[in-house]
Structure 1
Amino acid sequence: MADNPEPLYDSSGDKVVTGTRYYLLPAFSGDGGGFYTTSPFCPGDIYQESSDSSLGQPVVFYGANYSTYDYKVGNVIYESTDLNIHFPSQLCLLLPNAWIVGPYDSTVGAWIITASGRIGFPGGPGPIWFKFEKFRDNEYVLLFDPSVCEFCQNIPKSYVGIVSEFDRRPALNNNSPLRLKIVKASDVLQVQEARLNKAMIASVV
């Protein structure tokens, strides 16, 4: 972690904070849309929308320094610091719903990211800690390199990418890390319109 990490910034240039809903969207046209789960209740598998204009489902972030039942809202999140990501369903609030690394899929040769982790204390259960690293202004790559997990040594430091064009599963994939923008849910209509316009222009060209 950098000695003086910079705050994360969303697509509008505002600081990213805990407890607020955001969409994670590819920074470039043609890289697909946002992320979603197949379960309407408690998330498990995660997929990426194939269309640029499809936003998927919002996520929320929480830092490493909180307990399972203390969801702090409004704390600024910084680059290269450990955080949890999860889909904010009230039905799943106290059930396993955090993004987690695993299992290893031998057919694609990568560790798959699912939303079946249980949020816990630092050092607590499983590889649920991720970090954002800056690629350029308001664009980031998502990294698995936890500094607070005692049980993650067997999983290598890796960036998150998409390993299959067929079912578009997020996984640890250093060959093609996905460059992301963090979009506040309240800004989503403008962003969706802009992404749709880009997609239409690209299809004409």
Structure 2
Amino acid sequence: MNILLLLSIIPFTLASSSSSSLSPVLDVNGNEVEAGPNYFILPVIRGRGGGGLSPFNVKQNNTCPRDIIQWDDEEQEGLPVVFTRIDAKKSVVRVSTDVNVRFYTPTICARETIWKLGEYDENLKQYFVVTGGVEGNPGLKTVGNWFKIEKFESGYKFVYCPSVCKFCKVICKDVGILITKDGVRLLALSDTPYKVMFKKTF
């Protein structure tokens, strides 16, 4: 199912108020998150909240992994990500603004790790967030590659609700964690947000 062919828009209310919609996203040290540096995306909930995120082959078998998993072990920080703003001339990442998210990996898959909204999974009745997106070039052809960061309680959450295409009908929903029957934690659209924090790698 193509996300641009949906006939209705799922109601969605953003968590941030208009007065804070342009607030900078802050890392665990209180510093502004910037486009370019590497950051680990970690769960705010520690203990049984799991670890960081990584690309991995779960539902499919590709040379460059397409699924995105959350590690069970909280000591496993996963792979860091790099953010790209819709306005490439500005460096500070702000809430409620469109960004690309790319796993940083110095391998042949380096440009294959950009987040995007995957096709609807008919078996699981679910949209998953996967890799294989395109960086930059905001518009109709890349609408599935843009996400937003919103303030959420004591941390942040990712939201899929791109505004890079004014005439496109898109779904708007939080990004959360779906646990499969085998216990694998997959990044997916969800009614329960995945509450995260950002840790700069160096």
Counterpart CA distance in 2 for 1:158 and 1:27 is 20
The RMSD of aligned alpha carbons is 2.4
Deviation of 1:37 (Å): 1.4
Q: Tell me which residue corresponds to 2:53.
A: 35
**Residue 122 in 1 paired to residue 144 in 2?**
no
Q: Tell me which residue corresponds to 2:5.
A: none
Counterpart CA distance in 1 for 2:112 and 2:54 is 16
Q: Tell me which residue corresponds to 2:30.
A: 13
Q: What does the per-residue CA deviation read over 1:85-115, in whole Å, with 9 as the maximum and x for residues that have no partner?
A: 001234345x443100012123332211111
Q: Tell me which residue corresponds to 2:172.
A: 157
Amino acid at match of 1:103: E
Q: Tell me which residue corresponds to 1:109.
A: 125
Amino acid at match of 1:119: E
Moved over 6 A (4+): none
Q: Tell me which residue corresponds to 1:53.
A: 75
* Kept after mapping to 1: 8 A contact 2:143/2:164: no
TM-score (norm 1): 0.77
Task: Kindly tell me the number of residue pairs found equivalent between the two proteins.
Answer: 176
Counterpart CA distance in 1 for 2:72 and 2:50 is 5
Counterpart CA distance in 2 for 1:12 and 1:159 is 25
Which of 172, 185, 194 is the matching residue for 1:168?
185
Q: Tell me which residue corresponds to 1:132.
A: 149
Unaligned runs of 5+ in 2: 1-15
* Kept after mapping to 1: 8 A contact 2:177/2:187: yes
| CA 1:44–1:12: 2 relative to 1, 3 Å | same
Counterpart CA distance in 2 for 1:152 and 1:31 is 35
| CA 1:81–1:115: 2 relative to 1, 3 Å | same
| CA 1:61–1:7: 2 relative to 1, 3 Å | same
Counterpart CA distance in 2 for 1:42 and 1:185 is 23
TM-score (norm 2): 0.78
Amino acid at match of 2:84: Y
3-state secondary structure, aligned to 1:125 = helix
Counterpart CA distance in 1 for 2:172 and 2:63 is 31
| CA 1:128–1:145: 2 relative to 1, 3 Å | same
Q: What does the per-residue CA deviation read over 1:92-143, in whole Å, with 9 as the maximum and x for residues that have no partner?
A: 45x4431000121233322111111111311142411111110135x10110
Amino acid at match of 2:26: Y
